[in-house]
Amino acid sequence: MKTQHKSGLHPRNRHQAPYDFDALCQRTPSLLPFVFVNEHGNQTLDFADPAAVKALNRALLALHYGIHHWDLPPGYLCPPIPGRVDYLHRVADLLAESAGQVPTGKKVRVLDIGVGANCIYPLLGAREYGWRFVGSDIDPVSVKAATLLATSNGLGNQIECRHQPDAKQIFRGILGSKERFMLTLCNPPFHASLAEASKGTERKLRNLGKAQAGAPVLNFGGQKAELWCEGGEAAFLATMIAQSQVFGAQCLWFSSLVSKKENLPAANKALARVGAKEVRVLEMTQGNKISRILAWSFLDEASRVAWWSASGR
């Protein structure tokens, strides 16, 4: 019988229990000024405060993953660590179907589309599983910042960041003609406009009891390419699916986070049109928040096993 984790996180996720603020502050003293005891007698911090969220991330990465140098340019996206690493654990299980076990080591090569200035998926994936990453981004500042994070944490040989000069292309211009990846990851822009992104932040602040007049501060930050694109998540997914077909023989699995469940039916129809042989929807739950990973492959099961065997030597 499988153990049911109350948090809804993957069983291998290190963040099943509430944050251990004593241990976090001991490892990263700069977090201490942000921690307080709430009316229930529990240690916590103000999750509506961007500085507090960044300090928490820095402490979590240092304590649990040995990432001791982590920072962001002002205004860039500060991602929630438990949810990001959950994505990695769930796609690791997907790869295990072909590999025969959860794969680790540098033979596993992963493409992170939209690596961001935070470089979070490559950093976590390199530390948790020893995988190698290529991270792409249309923003040169993000590419430079992510590269610095990789090298400053001794992961320059495992993480390579590439600039995508054409914002309309997702894979072309990044994947070489002979390159092969076992997995692609993506955290697509969620909103269709800056106004929509701002409304989303206002809702978060209200939920945190921090509603305020005027333009809200984005507690997790985020630049245009990180938060929104024309057509929002649905349009981005449609483009990614259409363009993935050309590279179907170079990637074992394509995947993307899908925040809005209502975007799945159109995505599934698009995958049928391009001839995807296998489609999976992997649900992720964290507290009351439910999101999902859409994964697809242009190879059938036997071909994926053979592809893995050939690529894993």
Tokens 């295990």, residue? 96
Pick among 3.40.50.620, 3.40.630.10, 3.30.300.30, 3.40.50.150: CATH of 74-311? 3.40.50.150
**254-264 mean pLDDT:** 94
pLDDT on residue 310: 81
CA–CA dist 35, 15 (Å, integer):
18
**68-85 mean pLDDT:** 92
Is residue 280 classed exposed, middle or buried when 0-12, 13-18 and 19+ CB atoms within 10 A define those classes? Answer: middle
Give how far Cα 290 sits from Cα of 7, 9, 28, 50, 204, Å.
Answer: 11, 11, 30, 23, 15
Q: How would residue 70 be classed by pLDDT, with cut points 50, 70 and 90?
A: very high
Contact 124, 88 (CB under 8 A): yes
- Which of 66-75, 224-233, 303-312 is least confident? 224-233
Q: Where are the domains of the chain?
A: 74-311
Tokens coding 208:
């945190």
pLDDT on residue 312: 53
Condensed to tens digits (0 to 9), the pLDDT of residues 92-120 reads: 999 999 999 999 999 999 999 999 999 99
Contact 268, 283 (CB under 8 A): no
Q: Per mean pLDDT, which of 190-204, 205-219, 261-275 is the most reliable? A: 261-275
Quick check: 249 pLDDT over 70? yes
Q: In terms of Cα–Cα distance, which of 86, 119, 89, 91 is closest to 290?
A: 86
Paired strand residues for 255: 295
Q: How would residue 5 be classed by pLDDT, with cut points 50, 70 and 90?
A: very low
In the chain the first and final C-alpha atoms are separated, in Å, by 34
Quick check: 26 pLDDT over 80? yes
Tokens coding 230:
């024309």
Q: Cα angle vertex 52, ends 38, 148, to 5°?
A: 155
Quick check: 285 pLDDT over 50? yes
**169-184 mean pLDDT:** 95
pLDDT on residue 135: 98
pLDDT on residue 190: 63
Condensed to tens digits (0 to 9), the pLDDT of residues 127-158 reads: 999 999 999 999 999 999 999 999 999 999 99
